[in-house]
Amino acid sequence: MPETSRSHLVLIPSYNPGPGVVATVQAARAQWSPVWVVVDGSTDGTETLLQNMAANDPGLNVLVLPHNQGKGSAVLAGIEAAATRGFTHALTMDSDGQHPADLIPTFMAASQAAPDAMVLGKPVFGAEAPALRVNGRKVSNGWANLETLWMGVGDSLYGFRVYPMAPLAKIMRSNLFMRRFDFDPEAVVRLCWAGVRPINIDAPVRYLSVEEGGVSHFKYLRDNALLTWMHARLFIGFLIRLPVLVARRFSS
């Protein structure tokens, strides 16, 4: 039986993931209740698949956004709706089967033991992981650690993580960014700035082939340009906050 919580839910933003999303949601439901899926304007028919699943499963809730707004926007819509029902924490995971659903209870337990922290997955890559993606993320991780004065961000890009919803929602409402591919790294940096400490837990990540049903919306030039612009903004914010960050680091 899946573990049930009134404070912690699994939140899955979903955009055109293909029929493999059914297995992803089933795997999450086998571990946890409730699971919420935010359909971010999908046009591949998965909205209907998910709604049919939810009609027969009280532990599954499906929110549908009218058009594609980006991962960050989908997460914000989900946590704002969840907050109205009394939830305080959300474990986010991708809808494409890359993330380890069997580790949901482990991550939730870590969050329940330290509710003021964020629990970050630190990816363990398999042999199938593209070297370009694995090595490229080291750049973003380096910037994120600099921008947080090495508060302990194990990986800035891996989206399998537990967020305390209140500080995340407050941060997102206060700026116009963090709405698309820039969501995961910017959320980590800004939460560190807000004093939310990271806890890192190793977690495997799978890169599924097309034959296995893998779907990727990553666009190398577009998304790396977005990350570059994001870190340029964050570095300016880092310089502005530097005295406070230094004082916090030496007082801890």
CATH domain 7-251 topology:
Spore Coat Polysaccharide Biosynthesis Protein SpsA; Chain A (3.90.550)
Pairing mode, strands 161-164 and 118-125: antiparallel
Counts for the chain of helices (H) and strands (E), in that order: 8, 9
Between CA 252 and CA 246 the distance in angstroms is 10
pLDDT at 239 exceeding the cut of 90:
yes
Residue 115: helix, strand or coil by DSSP? coil
pLDDT at 63 exceeding the cut of 60:
yes
* Identity of the residue numbered 3: E
**What does pLDDT average to over the chain?**
91
Per-residue pLDDT averaged across 47-70, rounded?
Answer: 96
Instruction: Using pLDDT thresholds of 50, 70 and 90, give the confidence band for residue 113.
Output: very high
**222 or 24: whose pLDDT is higher?**
24
Give the per-residue pLDDT at 5. Answer: 98
Per-residue pLDDT averaged across 57-77, rounded?
Answer: 96
Give the per-residue pLDDT at 68. Answer: 94
Instruction: Using pLDDT thresholds of 50, 70 and 90, give the confidence band for residue 250.
Output: confident
Contact (CB, 8 A) for 163 and 187:
yes
| Angle at the Cα of 15 from the Cα atoms of 200 and 144, rounded to 5 degrees | 30
pLDDT in tens, 202-223: 999 987 555 455 555 555 576 6
Residues of the chain with pLDDT > 70, as a percent, come to: 92
Task: Break the chain into its structural domains and give their ranges.
Answer: 7-251
Between CA 183 and CA 230 the distance in angstroms is 10
User: Which phi and psi (to 5°) does residue 221 adopt?
Assistant: -70, -50
Between CA 122 and CA 201 the distance in angstroms is 6
pLDDT in tens, 143-166: 999 999 999 999 999 999 999 999
**Among residues 94, 143, 148, which one has the least CA distance to residue 121?**
94
